[in-house]
Amino acid sequence: MTHPLGLRERKKQQTRETIVRCAMELFAERGFDATTIADIAEAADIAPRTFFAYFPSKEDVVFHDFDAIFADFDTRLRERAHGVTAFETMREWIVERITDHADPLNEQRHALIAATPSLDAHERANMGRFNEVLTSAVAVDLDVAPDALRARMVSAAAVAALESLREIKDDEAGPDHVIAVMDEVLVFLQGGLDALRTPSEAGAASD
Amino acid sequence: MTHPLGLRERKKQQTRETIVRCAMELFAERGFDATTIADIAEAADIAPRTFFAYFPSKEDVVFHDFDAIFADFDTRLRERAHGVTAFETMREWIVERITDHADPLNEQRHALIAATPSLDAHERANMGRFNEVLTSAVAVDLDVAPDALRARMVSAAAVAALESLREIKDDEAGPDHVIAVMDEVLVFLQGGLDALRTPSEAGAASD
DNA sequence: CAGAATATCACACTGACTGCAAAATTACCG
DNA sequence: CGGTAATTTTGCAGTCAGTGTGATATTCTG
């Protein structure tokens, strides 16, 4: 009655955050592989076994917010209005995320991921999930099969742009740079699709 | 003197092949995760500890030929003649591989990968390496920075095509289908790059 | 406050992977 | 051929991630 969430839920949330904070700190200090579950548990003042009540694996701590982000993107794609392109939806979503959720810890996180092969693989798998949902949405836009080559190419190029964005993120100019990048992507994709639409001149110049 | 390779080398090669064969058999039967190193060692008639003298991890058995394939692609890209596009090089390379190395076990392998998350992540990492070298080669072609967005997009789209090819592979028509796919990719990339080159009309139609 | 629900935890276990040093095998050279 | 050096195989002990189970503690509900 005093709180929107019961004591239990609040404590759980708090413990979860403590685990994430302590773990990321240790990862930054010693590296991911050199940090054990026991280390994290001690720092967060929980039993080692309890860690696994919060995260299925050590890696999942690093990507603790991915599920929420992905779900957000997915529903956004699914619930877009008729006539609104998947790419436009993605562009909007990215600009929002950049402006709203400017997380200064992201830079540190990505340094960690880049330095840890297993995390890098995990990150790629995450991007793969973005790619999947984007591909099927693009396929709907283009009115082709869900696994059509052109849908894959469009989605892959868009996700490549997404990846390039996360490398700059905070230090470079925020929304302006993002918009510039997305514009370049749009021109590229549009040009590519137009070329596929007109079966005229195929390949003449060098790429 | 009787052999190009000494007894030692020959036995090593043989043992390596035995491990791969036995392991893949077991993986196909029971699944990757349900197969232990001890199982593989017993089947290949070696000590469990010896397994790690041949492969750094269980996963690497599945991708035992990746290093060679990747090195082939990489040198091919590096040593291409002046004026020959990275994309053209890739196209040639793929057609050769499809025709020469038609491995009937590949289908089985990819089923295994698709069914095993950790292998899927590993496979993505492998594709990521293709993407990296292709990106820098494309950047040279386009005369832009190695991490330029357009180089990334081109490479990402090409790798997406590569991934789509590996899904069909044996059952569908071989070289013909491959060439058709690569042609479509070329038109798409060419169109996209042309659009970026002419700063005229940007976005009008829907993608 | 009692009892149901749930969270924390200790314990024991599997399985991947590593370091180390002994034992077996192969190569080399006089 | 014999013996020694180089290399490979192996056993053993150990670390660490992750899981199942059941006991204990905490919170919730009436």
Q: Boundaries of CATH 1.10.357.10 in chain B?
A: 66-197
Separation in Å: D5 C1' and B52 CA: 25
Through-space separation of residue B8 CA and nucleotide D3 C1' in angstroms: 20
Contacts of A189 in chain B (CB under 8 A): 192, 207
Return residue ranges of chain B for CATH 1.10.10.60. Answer: 4-58
CB contact under 8 A, A206 and B141: yes
Nearest-Cα distance to chain B for A8, in Å, is 33
**CB distance A162 to A127 below 8 Å:** yes
| Angle at alpha carbon of residue A80, lines to A75 and A86, rounded to 5° | 90
Please give, rounded to a whole number of angstroms, the shortest distance from the CA of B95 to a CA of chain A.
17
Q: b/e map of B68-102 (b: 16 or more CB within 10 Å)?
A: eeeeebbebbeebeeeebbbbbbbebbeebbeeee
Residues in A touching B83 (Cβ below 8 Å): 206
- A4-58 maps to which CATH number? 1.10.10.60
Q: Do B187 and A194 lie within an 8 Å CB cutoff?
A: no
Assess if CATH 1.10.357.10 describes domain A66-197: yes
Give the amino acid at A4. Answer: P
Take residue B170 and report the two structure tokens written for it. 């044996």
What residues approach strand D to within 7 A at the CB?
Answer: A 6-9, 11, 35-38, 49, 52, 56-59; B 8, 11-12, 15, 46-50, 53-54
Predicted confidence (pLDDT) at residue B103 exceeds the cutoff of 90: no
Q: Judge contact between B87 and B140, C-beta under 8 A.
A: no
Q: How many CB atoms lie within 10 A of CB A137?
A: 23
Instruction: Please list every residue in chain B whose beta carbon sits closer than 8 Å to the beta carbon of residue A205.
Output: 190, 194
Its pTM stands at 0.90
**Of the listed ranges A90-94, B62-66, B203-207, the one predicted with least confidence:** B203-207
Yes or no, beta carbons of A156 and B160 under 8 Å apart: yes
Tens of pLDDT, residue by residue over A7-65, are: 688 999 999 999 999 999 999 999 999 999 999 999 999 999 999 999 999 999 999 99
- In the predicted structure, residue A139 carries a pLDDT above the cut 90: yes
pLDDT of residue B204 exceeding 50, the answer is no
Report residue B104 CA to chain centroid gap.
Answer: 16
Q: Which residues of A touch B193 (CB under 8 A)?
A: 188, 191, 207
CB–CB contact B124 A120 (8 Å): no
Band the pLDDT of A186: cuts 50, 70, 90.
very high
Chain B residue at shortest CA distance from A207:
B190
